[in-house]
Amino acid sequence: MTLPGRLNVLMRLPVPLQLALVYVVLLWLAGTSVLCQHAKNEQVYELADAPSAVRDTQAAAFILTSSPRATIYAAALPVAKPTSNEIHLDSEIDRNTACESGELHGKPCRVSWPRVLGSSMFFLSAQHGGNVGMDDDARYHLLHHTDGFWGDYVTTLERYRWSRWNDDDPFGVDYVGHPLMGAITNFVYIQNDPKQRALTFENTRPYWMGRLRATAFSAAYSAQWKIGPISETSIGNIGMKTYYSDKLGRYTNETGMVDFFVTPAGGILWNIGEDYIDKKLFRRVTHNVRNRWVLDAASLMTPAKCAANILRFRAPYYRDRDVDSPVPLRP
């Protein structure tokens, strides 16, 4: 079949399937971009407290050269060259430190938006997968449209209860699940910002301004998730159907303004809490533990950082570093 013929077949598909294909292509491109940059720029870090051959050799050289026979020993001592992993590790640490202090400016310190958007697309796909997999109405509206995909999307937006705070979801969904969602998207932004990704909890201007920038991104992501073109309003048409709930004792369409505010506001509070736990407790665990399984379990103390690491194909316990970081962790 020729290319025009294939395009003609694609154009005849239902709009949901066309949108799904476009979404898959965008997801693949975003994932490819993340993987390519990851392979190009990132290297494997050493285990915590693992001895460095370069540092040990240099230390031995220093001790030997202080003796009377320094020339003989120095000539006989094989000096190991730093590996590409160690060179990259040092450059990443120096880069993070210079960007934090303001000594380095420009492109090296800018947010890596391809990585931010790539991780966000993976997270968004997981959220939609959960909605469609667990909500019968979402599956039905995704495959059955009364006025076409975009027509139903506009209708759902018109029926959104903009003047109501509560969306009639359970308390745990609104005030635990959505703050966790905001914390995850915050960390997705933070871990791709060299000016703040290695910062732990501290009362400094770079820390607070960096977290506020991440909260702005989280608010934008939350708004897109609620009413954007790739949202639960467009995919599944959450809010189109009004029904009587015996549990609530009233009619509802499960829409409201609560998530627009609770997600970013609760997210930054969750971030601060995890930063504090990370600084006071998690770092002590990683300093004394080398077992991967124990580190994976310990990473659950900071679930949002754990999820954000997975979205960038890192180990759940991985941490970005600067010169003040006490322990090197491998990805």
Query: How much is the pLDDT for 146?
Result: 84
Query: How much is the pLDDT for 180?
Result: 96
Residue 189 located in a structural domain: yes
- Rounded to the nearest angstrom, the gap between the alpha carbon of residue 137 and the centroid of all alpha carbons in its chain is 29
Residue 330 located in a structural domain: no
Query: How much is the pLDDT for 65?
Result: 45
Angstrom distances, CA of residue 104 to CA of 1, 86, 94, 189: 54, 21, 10, 20
Quick one: what percent of the chain has pLDDT higher than 90? Answer: 45
Residue 117 located in a structural domain: yes
Among the ranges 28-42, 87-101, 273-287, 313-327, which has the highest mean pLDDT value? 273-287
Residue with tokens 């759940």: 316
Note the helical H segments in the chain.
Answer: 3-11, 15-41, 53-65, 70-76, 84-101, 113-134, 136-143, 148-158, 171-172, 178-190, 205-227, 258-277, 283-288, 292-298, 303-311
Quick one: what percent of the chain has pLDDT higher than 70? Answer: 70
Query: Given pLDDT bands bounded at 50, 70 and 90, which one contains residue 106?
Result: confident
Which helix H or strand E contains 250, and what residues bound it? strand 250-252
Query: Given pLDDT bands bounded at 50, 70 and 90, which one contains residue 81?
Result: low
- Give mean pLDDT, residues 221-244: 93
Query: Given pLDDT bands bounded at 50, 70 and 90, which one contains residue 289?
Result: confident
CB atoms within 10 A of CB 75: 7
d(C-alpha 138, C-alpha 132), whole Å:
6
| pLDDT tens readout for residues 116-146 | 999 999 999 999 999 888 888 888 888 888 8
Does residue 83 surpass a pLDDT of 60? no
Residue 131 located in a structural domain: yes
Residue 319 located in a structural domain: no
Residue 92 located in a structural domain: yes
Which of the two residues, 72 and 93, has the higher pLDDT score?
A: 93
Residue type, 6: R
Name, in order, each residue with C-beta under 8 angstroms of 262's C-beta and a sequence gap of 6 or more.
174, 175, 178, 179, 182
Q: How many domains does the chain have?
A: 1
**pTM for the full predicted model:** 0.73
Name, in order, each residue with C-beta under 8 angstroms of 94's C-beta and a sequence gap of 6 or more.
323
d(C-alpha 104, C-alpha 90), whole Å:
15
Structural domain boundaries, residue 201? 3-311
Residue 60 located in a structural domain: yes
Does residue 191 surpass a pLDDT of 90? yes
Query: Given pLDDT bands bounded at 50, 70 and 90, which one contains residue 60?
Result: very low
Query: Given pLDDT bands bounded at 50, 70 and 90, which one contains residue 96?
Result: confident
Residue pair 132/142 in contact (Cβ under 8 Å)? The answer is yes
Residue 320 located in a structural domain: no
Bridge partners (DSSP) of residue 252 are: 243
